[in-house]
Structure 1
Amino acid sequence: MSGRAQLMWDEAVTGYDFGPNHPMDPVRLALTRRLVEALGLDRDIEVIAAKPAGDSTLRLVHREDYVQAVKAASADPAAADPSYGLGTLDDPAFAGMHEVSALIAGQSVRAAEAVWRGDALHAVNFAGGLHHAMPGAASGFCIYNDAALAIARLLEMGAERVAYVDVDVHHGDGVQAAFWEDPRVLTISLHEHPRTLFPQTGWPQETGAPNAEGSAVNVALPAGTSDAGWVRAFHAVVPELVADFRPQVLVSQHGADTHFEDPLAHLAVSLDAQRAVQTACHDLAHRYAEGRWVALGGGGYAVVEVVPRSWTHLVAIAAGRPIAPETVIPDSWRQEAFARTQQLAPARMTDGRWPVAYADWEAGYDPADRLDQAVLAARRAAFPLRGLLA
C-alpha cells in the first residue's frame, strides 16, 4: 500500500447545478477546491480526475428504468418524470444532469477502488456523499447515490465487511435502504430527529432486515444539539460498533449541514466539532480497517461561511497534514469568495471552539438529558442485536 492520499476532483463536478435559487449551490465545491489549493494541500495529496460511472456500475445500486429516466430528463428537462423524483422542487431536471451525476458517482467509485487496491490509503470526494438517492428515485438533492455505489463496488471487488458512518444532519436513508438486507454493510447515521427534519426516517428502531438485524444503527438527535452533545453521541455509539464489526474499509459521509449557520436544519454544531469527528473517523479507520478510508462530502448550505472550511479540514486530515483551527485563511481566497458570491468570508479556519470538550458515555447517563435519551434509544435498539451491551 502506497500510503498516499488521493483527492478526487474534476472541475466539471461544478456542473451539478439545480439552478440559481436552489440551496445546493455548486460554488461550495469550487470554493472548497480553491481553499485546498490556497492552503498548499495539493503538495500533500494526489489529485485524481476519475471517469464517470458507466451504466453497469450505476446498476450496482440503481434500477435500469431509473437510469434511463435520468438520461431522458438530462436530454430534455421538460420531459422529467416526477414519479422518479425528477423535475421536482428538490430535484429539478437540468441539461447534462445524468453526465455530471455519473461523474460524481465515478469519483466515489474510483476512490473506493484506489483504497481497496492499495493505490491510496485514504481517498476524499467532497463532491460526493449524495446519500438520499434511492435505487429507483431521486431524493433530497441527490440523483445517483455515489456513497452506496462506492460500497457496492467494494463488495463486488471482494470486501466482506464495510462500515458506513454518516454524520450529515439528515438521515442517510438511501445508503441504509441500499444495504438494508446485507449484513456485510454496517450503516451508522447520526442525524437530527426525524420529527423535525427531512427525510423523516432514521428512527432508532430501524435496525435492518430480519436477515441483517443490527446492520443499521440510527442516532436521532434532538434539535438544538451542540458540540458537546454531538461529539458525545458519536463516541457513545460509533467506536464500539466499528470495533465489534472490524470493517475492511471505512466509508464516511461528512455533510457540513450540522453547523449552527446552516439554513436548512436545526443543530448547533461548530466547525471545530466537525473537525473533531473527521479526525475520529480517520483514527477509527487506522485502528480497525488498516487505514482504509473513503471520505465523502454531503449536505451543507452555508456555502461560504462553513462548507469550504469544513471540507478543507477533511482533505487536510486525509492528507496527513491537519490544519490548525486557528490558521488564518489567505486573503486571496477571501477575495475570490466575495467576487463569486458577494458574501464576506471568514478570516480563520476555526469557530473558536477548539478543543471541543465533551463527556464520555462512560461518565454516566443522565435520564433527564434529551441527548442521552437519544443515545440510549439507539444503543438499546441496535447493540443487543450485535451481541453488545446497551
Structure 2
Amino acid sequence: MSSKSNALFIQHVDTFNYHFYAEHPFDQTRLHMTQDLLSRVGALQPAQMISPASASLEALQLVHRPDYVNAVRQLSEPLPDPDWILKAAAYGLDTDDTPYFPGMHQAASAIVGGSVAACDAVMSGRTQHAIHLGGGLHHAFPGKGAGFCVYNDASVAIALLREQYDARVLYIDTDVHHGDGVQWSYYTDPNVMTYSIHETGKFLFPGTGFVYERGAGEGFGSCVNVPLEPYTEDESWLECFQDTIEQVTHSFKPDIIISQHGCDAHALDPLSHMHCSMRIYKEMPRIIHQLAHTYCEGRWVALGGGGYEIWRVVPRAWSLLWLEMTDHPLIKQLNEAPLKPIPTAWMEHWQHRSPVDLPQTWLDNVNLWEPMPRRGIIQEHNTKVKNIALEYVR
C-alpha cells in the first residue's frame, strides 16, 4: 500500500476555532502539533490533505433535533439574545465542560463535515483510508451537548453512510471515556455495531458503557462494551481489546470501520485514571488496520477524540495512527527501535510553549515507571469483563 495514494488527511480550517475558553482542557494546539510532527518526519504531504465542506443543516438533523441545531446557531452569535442564554441549560450548553461560545455552530459544523467527507471518500472508493483528527466528538446527543461535544460528527457520518450506501458500519471507540452518544444513537439498529473500550463508568464520565449494555429491539447484540478497571496497563488493555474486537468484527462483518482514537487512557492524561503507555496507541491502529483489510476491503476511517495531555501524548499518539494508516516506513522502524528519537527540530519548535519537557522518543520507556500496585487484581477483573463480552458476541 502506498502512503501517497492510499489515505487522505482531512482538516477543515474552521476546526481550529472549536475553542471553549482559555483554560479549557480541549485545546486544538494538539492538532497543530500533530500535523507539524508528521510534516517534519516527511509523513504528510500536501497532496494527501483535503479541506471538506461544512456539514449542512439537513445532515446535522439526521441525528440532532431541529430545535437543538437552532439553539446552537443562536448561541453562536457574538452577543446571543438573553432569552437564548436562559435556554442554554436545557441544551447542555451552559456547563464548565461544554459552554456555548461565539462561532460554535460554524466550528462544530466544520468538524461534522470533515467526518462526513472522510466516510464518503472511503465508501465511494476515492481512497481506502481516511483520517479526520478534528472529529470523534462522541458525547453529543440529539438534543443536548455534553463532554466537550456540541455535534456528534461520528453519528451524523454513520447516518449518511446508512442512507446513501446502505452500509453495515462498525464503530470502534478507543477513548478512555465511553462512546455514549454514538451508542445510544444506534442502540436499536442491527446494521450499526458500536464497540467501546474504556475506563469503567463506575468512576469516570459519562458513567455508562457497562458490559450489559448490548443494544435493544432489533439491535440487541449490536453493542459491545469493554469497561476496564482504573490503572489498567498496556498488557491488559491490549489483551482485552484484541480478543474482543477481533471476535466482534468476525461476527458482524462490516462494510466499513470507523474508529475513534481518543488518547486519554495514557498514564499522563489528567482526566482519567488509567496507566497505559504510548504502546497501545501504536498497537490498536495496527489491529484495526488488519481487520479493515481482512473484513471490508480496507475501508477504514479514523477520527480523533479526547486527549488532554496535549504536549507529551496526543501528537505522538495521533502521528502513530497516521503512520500506521499509510504504512509509513517509520512505523516499521519503531517495531525494532521503539525508543527512536523524536525529531529535534519539532521539540525545539514547541518546547518554549510547553509547560513540561517534551518527550524525546516515540514510545515511552516504561522501565523507568514505578510498578503499579494491585496489577494482578486489575488484570484478573479485566479478563472477567473481557470473557463476558466475548460470550455476548458469540
Q: State the 1:68 CA deviation.
A: 0.5
Indicate yes or no: 2:385 matched with 1:374.
Answer: yes
1:265-344 aligned at under 5 Å gives the runs 265-321=272-328, 322-323=330-331, 324=334, 325-344=338-357
- Tell whether the 8 Å contact from 1:337 to 1:344 is kept in structure 2 after alignment: no
Distance 2:174 2:286 in 1: 13
Indicate yes or no: 2:48 matched with 1:46.
Answer: yes
Distance 1:336 1:93 in 2: 32
Indicate yes or no: 2:195 matched with 1:188.
Answer: yes
- What RMSD over aligned residues (CA atoms) do the two structures have, in Å? 2.0
Secondary structure at the residue paired with 1:327?
coil
1:234 to 223, 232, 241: 241
Secondary structure at the residue paired with 1:333?
helix
Secondary structure at the residue paired with 1:91?
coil
Structure-2 change in CA distance of 1:12 and 1:342 (3 Å): farther
1:251-262 aligned at under 5 Å gives the runs 251-262=258-269
1:173 to 176, 180, 198: 180
Residue 373 of structure 1 aligns with an amino acid whose one-letter code is: K
Indicate yes or no: 2:243 matched with 1:243.
Answer: no
- Tell whether the 8 Å contact from 1:334 to 1:345 is kept in structure 2 after alignment: yes
- Tell whether the 8 Å contact from 2:236 to 2:379 is kept in structure 1 after alignment: no
Residue 59 of structure 1 aligns with an amino acid whose one-letter code is: Q
- Tell whether the 8 Å contact from 2:138 to 2:181 is kept in structure 1 after alignment: yes
Secondary structure at the residue paired with 2:340?
coil
Secondary structure at the residue paired with 2:352?
helix
- Tell whether the 8 Å contact from 1:334 to 1:344 is kept in structure 2 after alignment: no
Indicate yes or no: 2:38 matched with 1:27.
Answer: no
TM-score of the two chains, using structure 1 as the length reference: 0.91
Aligned length in residues = 372
Could you list the runs of 5+ residues in structure 2 that have no partner in the other structure? 368-376
Q: State the 1:378 CA deviation.
A: 2.2
Secondary structure at the residue paired with 2:138?
coil
What is the aligned partner in structure 2 of residue 363 from structure 1? none
Secondary structure at the residue paired with 1:66?
helix
- CA deviations over 1:47-68 (Å, ceiling 9, x no partner): 0111110101111111111110
Secondary structure at the residue paired with 2:302?
strand
- Tell whether the 8 Å contact from 2:256 to 2:300 is kept in structure 1 after alignment: yes
TM-score of the two chains, using structure 2 as the length reference: 0.90
1:263 to 258, 270, 292: 270
What is the aligned partner in structure 1 of residue 361 from structure 2? 348
- Tell whether the 8 Å contact from 1:272 to 1:353 is kept in structure 2 after alignment: no
- Tell whether the 8 Å contact from 1:121 to 1:291 is kept in structure 2 after alignment: yes
What is the aligned partner in structure 2 of residue 213 from structure 1? 220
More displaced stretch, 23-32 vs 342-351: 342-351
Structure-2 change in CA distance of 1:367 and 1:69 (3 Å): closer
Structure-2 change in CA distance of 1:368 and 1:145 (3 Å): closer
Residue 347 of structure 1 aligns with an amino acid whose one-letter code is: Q
- Tell whether the 8 Å contact from 1:279 to 1:317 is kept in structure 2 after alignment: yes
Q: State the 1:368 CA deviation.
A: 8.5
What is the aligned partner in structure 1 of residue 76 from structure 2? 74
- Tell whether the 8 Å contact from 2:138 to 2:152 is kept in structure 1 after alignment: yes
Structure-2 change in CA distance of 1:326 and 1:181 (3 Å): same
Distance 1:161 1:27 in 2: 34
What is the aligned partner in structure 1 of residue 371 from structure 2? none
Distance 1:200 1:266 in 2: 14
Distance 1:146 1:23 in 2: 20
Q: State the 1:292 CA deviation.
A: 0.1
- CA deviations over 1:196-228 (Å, ceiling 9, x no partner): 100000011111112211011111111111100
Distance 1:42 1:223 in 2: 35
Structure-2 change in CA distance of 1:367 and 1:48 (3 Å): closer
Residue 351 of structure 1 aligns with an amino acid whose one-letter code is: D
- Tell whether the 8 Å contact from 2:139 to 2:181 is kept in structure 1 after alignment: yes
Distance 2:92 2:388 in 1: 32
1:56 to 27, 47, 58: 58
Distance 2:300 2:156 in 1: 15
Could you list the runs of 5+ residues in structure 1 that have no partner in the other structure? 355-365
- Tell whether the 8 Å contact from 1:180 to 1:216 is kept in structure 2 after alignment: yes
Q: State the 1:379 CA deviation.
A: 2.8
Distance 1:339 1:332 in 2: 12
- Tell whether the 8 Å contact from 1:115 to 1:292 is kept in structure 2 after alignment: yes
Structure-2 change in CA distance of 1:211 and 1:45 (3 Å): same
Distance 2:92 2:387 in 1: 35
Residue 68 of structure 1 aligns with an amino acid whose one-letter code is: N
Residue 28 of structure 1 aligns with an amino acid whose one-letter code is: R
Secondary structure at the residue paired with 1:349?
coil
Secondary structure at the residue paired with 1:341?
coil
Secondary structure at the residue paired with 1:165?
strand
- Tell whether the 8 Å contact from 2:169 to 2:193 is kept in structure 1 after alignment: yes
Residue 376 of structure 1 aligns with an amino acid whose one-letter code is: N
Secondary structure at the residue paired with 1:189?
strand
What is the aligned partner in structure 2 of residue 17 from structure 1? 19
